[in-house]
Each structure stands twice: as structure tokens, then as C-alpha cells.
Amino acid sequence: MSDTQVDIITSIRVTVKTTTPYDAVLDRLNVEVQRNWPATKSSLDHILESTSKADFERYFQINAGPSGFVQFYSMEHNKWLKLFDIGNGRRCRRVLLGNPLVAKTMLKHELGAGLYVPVELLLLETEDKKSTEVIYILPSSLIASVNKGNEELKKAAKALDDKFEFLIKRITMP
């Protein structure tokens, strides 16, 4: 027999609108999170098999971009949406990014927070194709919902918010 628990949570969705063109926002994001991409992607499986904590930490210290994040995944929705005549050619990219060295500051307080790290964002080209929207869920609004009474978890999630919002400001500045 299995038990199912259903929790209703509230999250905070943030949309940052910038006059900066999509390509410029994407280029800035790549600088911030893809220092050695795709080498990072190809060697990630290898480092996850490492038994050395020091090697693991060194890997992410070296491969994290200036923002402290590493890109784990990127999906260009527009590439498949065009098959269905959706989006009028607007570019739309979902990016999953994070850093286990940051994630551990939360997961040590609550493993269930692992559902919400790494974080994600959506880059969306505006209809006029002259500017960009960056859409994301504020990490702490999800992470802190896992264990509402855990102040250390909230503190660590807030630190992630600050780091993530700093990244968003850097990639969206005019």
C-alpha cells in the first residue's frame, strides 16, 4: 500500500522585461553560466562518479561562470513550436542552471528541496522581436515551501534568490 500526500504551495513568478535584444541577453547568459560549455556537459557524468569531495568541489569552482552557476540544460522551444505554427518565429529558450555547491546549503536542511534545484528560467523574445522577457520562479518561494518552519533552509534559499536575481540583472541590463 502507498500513501499520497498533496501539498498546495504558492510560488512567485517574476517577469523581467528588458529592451535588450534576445541575442544580447542570451550572449550575456552564456558568459555567466557556460564558461566551459559543452565541456562541462560532457564531463559532468564523469565528475558525478568521483569519490573525492575535493575533486567534485574543484570541478564546480572551476567550471562555474562568473555568476557562480553552471548550465545543466537548455531547450529551444521555438525549434519545435514552429512545426505547429506557434509563436510567430519568436525565440523561446528554457535554461536549467545551478551549482551543487550552492544546492548543498539547502539540501543539508531538507532533501525535499532537491525538487527545486537547479533553478530555471525562460528567455522569451517579445512579439516585435526587439526586446526580451526573462521569466522565472523565485527559488525561495518553492524551496521554503518544503519545510516552512526551517529558518536555516529559508536563509539558504534567500541567499540563492539573491545570487539568481543578481544574474538576472546582469543579463538584462540595457
The type of residue at 65 is: G
Distance CA 11, CA 139 (A): 8
Closest to 70 (Cα-Cα) out of 85, 80, 57, 52: 57
Q: What is the pLDDT of residue 99?
A: 94
- Sequence spans of domains, the chain: 13-172
Q: Which helix (H) or strand (E) holds 33?
A: helix 22-33
Residue with cell 523561446: 92
How do residues 115-127 score in pLDDT, each as one tens digit? 999 999 999 999 9
- On the 0-12 / 13-18 / 19+ scale of CB atoms within 10 A, 49 is exposed
For the domain with range 13-172, which CATH number is right: 3.20.20.30, 3.40.50.360, 3.30.310.70, 3.30.70.1560? 3.30.310.70
- Which residue bears the cell 533552509? 153
Helices (H), 37-81: 39-48, 53-63, 77-81
CA 163 to CA 160: how far, in whole Å? 5
106-to-12, 72, 100, 159, 161 alpha-carbon distances in Å = 19, 19, 10, 10, 12
The per-residue pLDDT for range 145-156, each reduced to its tens digit, is 887 789 999 999
* pLDDT, tens only, 62-108: 889 999 999 988 999 999 999 999 999 999 999 999 999 999 999 99
The three cell numbers of residue 16 are 523581467
DSSP symbol at 57:
H
